[in-house]
Amino acid sequence: MLIRYGYEITLTCQLPTALVCLLSVHEDRAADMRVPETLCTTPDVPTTTYHDLFGNRCRRLVAPAGDLTMWGDATIEDDGKTDRQLPDAREIAVPDLPDDCLVYLLGSRYCETDRLSQAAWDMFGAVAPGWRRVQAICDFVHGHIQFDYMQARSTRTAFEAYQERIGVCRDFAHLALTLCRCLNIPARYVNGHLGDIGVPIVDPMDFSAWIEVFLEGAWHTFDPRNNTPRIGRIVVARGRDAADVPLINSFGPHVLKGFRVWTYEVTGLLVH
């Protein structure tokens, strides 16, 4: 299966403004690229890339005063399978976890493990450890939060989403991964593309957020917002929470003037 994905984002800045953008597909999918990513900016500005502490590819540039449009487009090959399901996958005891998993047990900017620990153990402490416990958490979050684009708020934390019971995909992800961490299950935040492949088109196309949970010695995908196995996830960035992987980190004020995202299956290899 071939999936074409991309974005067009226009910002308006009053003054030249430094940006760091996490918009490119994660390099663990490099072997799957069939048409490499094309990036254009209008006006044309120089860019450089580096890798952050989580292995994400970041792009640096300076937006000029006025409008700046960033346009990216690529085609990737996907196996066309839904998210892998391993219902017998076991939890790994904390002393046996790999060192690089430990950071995903801790509280972070949007994930207040201290405020949700008691609730997590009260609700899920008696559930059999492992995959089924994580799925029980996702089932709860999926039913507890009402999805509403109009109620999006960039400062909403997991505890606030738990209390307010409303939000967007990042809020679903933050609450689910926080509850996992409270139960000593490493969980990390994922930002990426998820097209409506094999499911009805419900919402306008956007970047999506989901989580990955460490079970049975490997990271596994869970999606508390959609809460069903999906086809064609394309990871852009991973981190402790959304604060680690903003699509655009602006070191100065800006206004979002235009935003368009596309992700869809193509039947032949297209030359962009």
Contact in structure between 176 and 188 (CB atoms under 8 Å):
no
CB 104 within 8 A of CB 212: no
Nearest of 3, 157, 160 to residue 77 by alpha carbon: 3
Single pTM value for the model: 0.96
Which band of pLDDT confidence, cut at 50, 70 and 90, is reported for residue 272? very low
C-alpha–C-alpha distance, residues 98 and 95, integer Å = 9
Is residue 271 domain-resident?
no
- CA max distance for the chain: 57
Secondary structure letter of residue 154 according to DSSP: T
Q: Is residue 88 part of a domain?
A: no
Query: Could you give the CA distance from residue 158 to residue 183 in angstroms, rounded to a whole number?
Result: 15
Closest CA to 105 of 209, 236, 221, 213: 213
- pLDDT recorded at residue 205: 82
How many distinct structural domains can be found in the chain? 2
Domain extent, residue 208, equals 94-243
**In this structure, are 106 and 235 located in the same domain?**
yes
pLDDT, mean over the chain: 96
- Let me know whether 9 and 68 are in one domain: yes
Report the share of the chain in percent with pLDDT over 70. 97
Same domain, 10 and 68: yes
Q: What is the pLDDT of residue 204?
A: 72
- Tell whether the model's pLDDT for residue 268 goes beyond 70: no
pLDDT in tens, 27-67: 999 999 999 999 999 999 999 999 999 999 999 999 999 99
Q: Are residues 188 and 111 in the same domain?
A: yes
Neighbours of 78 (CB within 10 A): 17
CB 167 within 8 A of CB 145: yes
Q: What is the CATH number of the domain that holds 48?
A: 2.60.40.2250
